[in-house]
Structure formats: C-alpha cells, structure tokens
Structure 1
Amino acid sequence: MYPTHPVLDAIADCSDELRRLEAESAELRRLAPELVKKFREIGVMRIVQPKRYGGFEADPRVFNEAMYAISRASSSAGWVTGVVGVHSWHIGLFDDKAQREVFGEDPDTWVSSSYGPSGTARRVTGGHVLSGRWSFSSGSDYCDWVFVGGLVQDEAGGPPEYRHFLLPRSSYEIVDVWNASGLVGTGSNDIVVTEQFVPAYRTLNVSDTMDRKVPGKEVNTGPLFNMPWFGVLLNSVVVPLVGMASAALDEALQVHRTKVAANPMMMPNDLTLARFAEASGAIDLARDLLLRNLGDLYETALAGKGPTLAQRMRGKRDHMVAVELAVSAADKAYQSGGPRSIKSSSLIQQLWRDVHAGEHHAMNLPDGAYPVYGRYLIEGEAILPNITGAF
C-alpha cells in the first residue's frame, strides 16, 4: 500500500541525523543549515516538481510518505518539507515563464508562502502593484521566492478578486518575529511587501486555480498537474502532524518498555494500555485515509478527468478527521508517557506542543469545513468557500 521511491530510501538513511539536528533547529528558530544541505542533496523539495525543471514529478503519495517519515524524525523539518515542498508543485501551475524564472538556473530553488489574503493589490499595465504583511511563512530564511495572497479591488465596486502572487527575494522583506510554543525550529516569520510590481504571468486567480484553469497545464501535461489544488495542498499541513504524533507515541511506549524490561511488574495499567492501542489506531487510520483519498484523486487525474464533488467533499472531511486523530494520538501519548513527560528536556512534550501548534493552521480548523460537509450530506450539494482555498 505504501509507495516506494529513492528519496524515501534516502530519508530513511538519514533519519538519525534528522533527529540530532532537531535540537539545533529549535535553538536557531529555523532549520539547521546542515539539515537544509542534506535535503538539497537528496532532493526532498523536488518530489512533486515538474520533470522539465529537474523535479521527480512523482506520484503525490510519495510526497505524503516523505512528510510522514521526516516528521517522525524532526517536527521542524517535517513541517517545512510540507509547506515548502508543495510549492514546487504549485509553481508548475503557473505560466512557463514563471517556472523558468524560479527553476531555470537552480532546480533546487525553494519557495515559501503565506496564502491568506492579507495583501492588497491594484491593477496596472502588465500586472499588479502589491503591498501587505503576511505571517507564518515557514522556512522563509532558506527560500528565494514567496507566494502570498492578496485581494484586488474591483474598480466598478464589485467584490474583490483573490489572487496568489509570486515574488522573488529582492521584492520582499523577512521580519524575524518567530517565537512560538510549538514548531519552534520552522522559522515561520513575517513577509512584508511594499508597492511591488508583480507581472501578470506571476499571479493566478484563486478561483481559476481551484477550477484547474491554469496555464502551467499547457506545458506540464502529466497527471500530477491535473490534480486539484485542495487535493495536493491540504496534505502538506496535516501529514506532518500524523508523523509527529507517531513519534510521540513511540517515545511514550519506549518509556514503559524500558521499565518493563527492568521489572516485568512495571507493566502499565489497563487504561494506559488502552490509550496506547487507541493512539496507534488513530495514527494508522489518519495516514491511510489521506493516502487513500490522494490515490483516488491521482487515479482520476491519470484518467484525464477532474475531481467529483464527492471526492472534494470527502477529501476535506477526512483532512479534518486526520487532524483530530493526530491531535488525539499526541494527547494520549503525552498522558501516558509518565511524569517525566513534562520536563523541558522531554521529546514527548515537544512533540505534543508541535502537533497542537500545527493544529492551529488556518486550513486545519474544522469550523467551516464540517458544516459544509453536513449540508452536502443532506442536500447532495455544497456551497464551497473557495476564498479560503479549503476545498
């Protein structure tokens, strides 16, 4: 069921190194330079990048498994893998001129993001002029480009148009504000843009992106780029949480394995054993749900078709289910890891904080998603809130 790929083999080979470098990343509040160098060597961020520009253009399930495996070793690295690595796919949806600017000289160019519509833009000849400030741009210190979201006001007084803008490092400022309770080593700093011109070929209407009406498909004709936006992007902020929860469970189990090995009478009580069983099942279910839905969408894309409403609805529902399962599993690991779990040196408490920090990502909040799915169950249709990119 689980995919194989040379990058996954390379990740497995360096997992001990990733674990060692997590502490350095946390101290620096951004990924350790040695870790970044390793990722560039093995091509972690190129898994879903167009082959035309040095990417693997792999089955997207490979990317899911990469996020899962890395997050089990390093929360910071796993999170950044998701929210930076997925941009190599997003670039492939843009005009080929934009793709060439980003990847033409260096196929391992990294791109960060903050997709929320926190900026404002006005139309000018040949493009837009953009200004704004965006938060939570993970991995930005190591990225040479950024995606940001902005609203373009309608001159006739109509509703604003939500667009994604792609800017080079020379066009924005990174403001170091990242001091957080979890995901400490992700360097999720602010992006500031002041009156910058963005040419038309480096911006996409979000509604067109949701409808797969993108210029990149003219040159990237493989099934990966026929995938829906939500089907690829959502995984980048939930799969890492599943990996982190799995690592937390392993840590808690090891505490009790060590005790039992020293004294068989130290077997934990039935309630603790039950929590371990429940957490293990939650992790497997979340991982498999996400792989199943992604594989279903990929098979649809292979057939040259677009996603059905049922696929879109189920995908977002199961995304939220997977977040809840990961959080539940992390909570059970923390509850069952013993009193030493509260120490600042405990990896269990760090992983618990990291999972809860990731839960707060805008796309991981259930408030809007579940009511839409409930309406779908009753009426067989849904009003999709495309403004958020959630579906």
Structure 2
Amino acid sequence: MAHEVIDRIEELGPQLKGLAEENERLGRLSERTVALMRSAGVMRLLQPAKFGGHSVHPRDFAEAVMALARHDGAAGWVAGVVGVHPWEVGQMDPRLAQEIWGENQDTWIASPYMPNGIAEPVEGGYVLNGRWPFSSGTDHCDWVFLGALVGDSKGRPAMPVKVLHVVLPRSDYEIIDDSWDVIGLSGTGSKDVVVSGAFIPEYRTVDQEDIKSGAAAERNGATETVHKLPFTTMFPLGITAAVIGICEGALEAHLALQRDRVAVTGVQVRDDPYALYATGEATAEIEACRVQLIDGVSRLYDRLDAGETVSVADRTRIRRNQVRCAWRAVAALDEIFARSGGNVIRRDNPIQRLWRDAHVGLQHMIHVPGATYHADSLAQMGLEVPAPMQALI
C-alpha cells in the first residue's frame, strides 16, 4: 500500500508543486492541497488498520513524506508532523481512536508536544490551561495532541515533574490566526493554540514516559513492531524526512535551471566543471542523507521485530544520525543555491522558497545537535547518559 501512496503523490506532483506558492501566500495549506494529500492517503500510513490505516514500516512513511516535500515543502512538513500522530493514538486507550476516526477515517490530529500547559488533576481526568506555538497544519485538524505538566491545586507544576500527552477535540481549543508570520515553511500554518479550562478525560491522556518506553502500547494491545519503536525515533523521523525531501526538491529545480543557463561569462553552466563538481557533490550528499535516515530506522525496526532489546546507545546513534542528516542535506543545498545564479533570489523561483523552508526546518528542537551529539558520545564510550540528556533520545 505504501508504494501506491508514493505513486499517487508522484502522480499529483505537478498539482502539488503548482500550489506551493499559494500555500506560502495563505500562510497555511490551501483546501486544494489538503484534498490532494487526503486522496494520496499519506496521513493514513501509520494509522491503525482497524480505522482505515495501513500501519506501514516507518521507512515507507519517511519515503512518502520525502516525496511530498520534494513537491511542496510545507505539505511535506505537515505530513511529517501530523502523519505520525495516528501512530501514537494507536498505542492509547481504544476509546480515543473510536472518537477520532469512528465517523471519519480521514480526520487529522495536530500537536505540539512541548509541555506548555498545566493539567490539574480532577475527578475523572484533568483540567487544562495553556498556550502552545507551532501547531503545524492545525487549520485542517479536528483534534490536537498537547504536552502538559501535571499541576498542583495552585496551577503550578507538581513535583516530581510529570509530563502528559493529552488529546483534545477542536471544540476545546482556540487557534490564534495571526500567530504565524515567518520566513520559511509559511504554508504549514503552524499557529498557536490556546486552551482555557478544558476538561480532559483520563483515557485521552498518556504519560510521556509510557509512550517513550513502549508501556502504553503494551498496556493497550498495540503489538505491531512499528509500535515498539521509541517515540524519540518516530517523531523526529517525519520531520527530518521533510527537510531531506525539501532539499531533494531544490536539487531537482537547480538541475532544471542549470541545464540551459548561460553564466555572465557567456559560458553555458553545463560546460563549467567547477559548477558541475559542486552539483555532483551536493547530489551525493543529499542522497546519502536519505539513505542514512532510512537505514537507521530500518535497522532499529528489524532488531525489535526479531525480539531484541534497544539500548540507550542504539537510541542515541539513531538520533545522532537523524540530526546530522538534516544538517548535511541543508549544507549541500547551500552549495547549489550559491551556484544557481542571481535569478535564484526572485520570488517566482521555487529554489529560494525551498531554501528558506529547509533552513527553517533546521530550527525545530529535534534538529538541535549539541545535547544529542554529547549524549551519543557518552553512550558510545560506554558511559552513563544523564537522565535530563535522555529527554529527546
């Protein structure tokens, strides 16, 4: 089924590409883009089969996100973020999945997971308050995942700190329309959402540690191998796949531009060995990033499928390579952008939009290299990785 989804994305590619500029202008995905994405089925790839999904290998999900991002960076980004949420719902109380997809299996779920809210315990659940930025694709979603700190009776974080992932229907939160004015990935519509005193039943919540450890999946009978993968592998996967796909799209546009371009010297670029050397090197780098990202999650999947355990060192290695793939791909894009000529800066040239989208993609917290590289170095030396440093591992 995954190959059918990718084939459908490629079939729709010219239309998706043609809508990218409109999406940027709107500051969100257009209704037409969303309709095309729904028809391709990309958001159902990690959705439970019981609710019209396909529960595919994570490699297939990453490749579909890359294919979409190559045509429109914003659409690919939304698919990479929103598309992983069905994977988590599949590990939670089955009542939640029934609520979300019981009547419409094409329902989308937004996020973000950062614990910007306080969830105060009450009888039967929690009362939530807070404001969260960066809710990608939120205009087209009917539910949202939010991160929250369990609070005390005074609205402050309780000690010890406990982080929940909570899920709310669209009627329980507000989207702030003027909160997304950015230089790249504008079409993602990653607006702020606000919650004021919403009640959340216990079954619509899950302890973040239970998702990270796999305890939630085991408790709720999600036995497929894909549900044994760490959250800190799956969530970054879609985002980094989008960044690599954006770089692939820029490379494709660069090659089309260079084919017949004549430099100011009067020399055709295709006859300039220095320009072609840089293009060849960038092409190899971007392709290597694709291969390494997919190889990492595939190796982890195979180990879990064989019943093996995953160590901290295994997880840090995956995260290290995932972060590095994003940075290497964007560095390669910088090389070809610098050699695309003066016309590349014109707003009607898609390369400049993809270049901006890729750089904004690096700003996501899962692409910050410092702590990830530090943790991996400790793990590979057989040393203990401090607990705070394992938060995103």
Shorter-chain TM-score tier: over 0.9
Aligned residue for 2:290? Answer: 287
Question: Shift of residue 241 of structure 1?
Answer: 0.6
Aligned residue for 1:42? Answer: 40
Contact 1:49 1:92 in 2 (8 A): yes
Moved more, 251-260 or 165-174: 251-260
Q: Deviations over 1:312-364 (max 9, x none)?
A: 01101001111111210221121011111111222111111000111101111
Aligned partners of 2:79, 2:367: CA distance in 1, in Å?
A: 17
Question: Shift of residue 213 of structure 1?
Answer: 0.7
Q: Return closer, same or farther for 1:178/1:304 CA change in 2, 3 Å cut-off.
A: same
Aligned partner of residue 382 in structure 1, secondary structure: coil
Aligned partners of 2:114, 2:390: CA distance in 1, in Å?
A: 9
Question: Shift of residue 63 of structure 1?
Answer: 0.5
Does residue 168 (structure 1) correspond to residue 166 (structure 2)? The answer is no
Aligned residue for 1:307? Answer: 310
Q: Return closer, same or farther for 1:356/1:200 CA change in 2, 3 Å cut-off.
A: same
| TM-score, normalised with respect to structure 2 | 0.93
Aligned residue for 2:75? Answer: 77
Q: Which amino acid aligns with 1:178?
A: W
Q: 1:91 aligns with which of 70, 89, 92?
A: 89
5+ unaligned residues in a row in structure 2: which ranges? none
Contact 1:115 1:149 in 2 (8 A): yes
Question: Shift of residue 383 of structure 1?
Answer: 2.4
Aligned residue for 1:113? Answer: 111
Q: 1:349 aligns with which of 344, 347, 352?
A: 352
Q: 1:224 aligns with which of 201, 223, 226?
A: 226
Aligned partners of 1:227, 1:267: CA distance in 2, in Å?
A: 45
Aligned partners of 2:107, 2:2: CA distance in 1, in Å?
A: 24
Question: Shift of residue 378 of structure 1?
Answer: 2.9
Contact 1:119 1:134 in 2 (8 A): yes
Contact 2:91 2:220 in 1 (8 A): no
Question: Shift of residue 153 of structure 1?
Answer: 3.1
Contact 2:92 2:220 in 1 (8 A): no
Aligned partner of residue 215 in structure 2, secondary structure: coil
Aligned partners of 1:243, 1:227: CA distance in 2, in Å?
A: 23
Aligned partner of residue 118 in structure 1, secondary structure: strand
Contact 2:9 2:67 in 1 (8 A): yes
Q: Return closer, same or farther for 1:346/1:108 CA change in 2, 3 Å cut-off.
A: same
How do 1:249-264 residues align onto structure 2 when only pairs under 5 Å count?
249-259=251-261
Q: Which amino acid aligns with 2:278?
A: R
Aligned residue for 1:100? Answer: 98
Moved more, 205-214 or 36-45: 36-45
Aligned partner of residue 91 in structure 2, secondary structure: coil
Q: Deviations over 1:27-49 (max 9, x none)?
A: 21111111111222231100011
Question: Shift of residue 133 of structure 1?
Answer: 0.2
5+ unaligned residues in a row in structure 1: which ranges? none
Q: 2:133 aligns with which of 132, 135, 141?
A: 135
Moved more, 201-210 or 269-278: 269-278
Q: Return closer, same or farther for 1:266/1:298 CA change in 2, 3 Å cut-off.
A: closer
How do 1:10-25 residues align onto structure 2 when only pairs under 5 Å count?
10-25=8-23
Aligned partner of residue 111 in structure 2, secondary structure: strand
Aligned partner of residue 313 in structure 1, secondary structure: helix
Does residue 208 (structure 1) correspond to residue 210 (structure 2)? The answer is yes
Q: Deviations over 1:17-64 (max 9, x none)?
A: 110111221121111111111222231100011101110111111110
Q: Which amino acid aligns with 1:108?
A: D
Question: Shift of residue 217 of structure 1?
Answer: 5.5
| TM-score, normalised with respect to structure 1 | 0.94
Q: Work out the number of aligned pairs and report it.
A: 387
Aligned partner of residue 206 in structure 2, secondary structure: strand
Aligned partners of 1:387, 1:175: CA distance in 2, in Å?
A: 32
Does residue 361 (structure 1) correspond to residue 364 (structure 2)? The answer is yes
Aligned residue for 1:196? Answer: 198
Q: Return closer, same or farther for 1:245/1:217 CA change in 2, 3 Å cut-off.
A: farther
Identity across matched positions, percent: 36
Question: Shift of residue 159 of structure 1?
Answer: 2.3
Aligned partners of 1:157, 1:118: CA distance in 2, in Å?
A: 14
Aligned partners of 2:269, 2:42: CA distance in 1, in Å?
A: 42
Aligned partners of 1:384, 1:236: CA distance in 2, in Å?
A: 25
Aligned partner of residue 210 in structure 2, secondary structure: helix
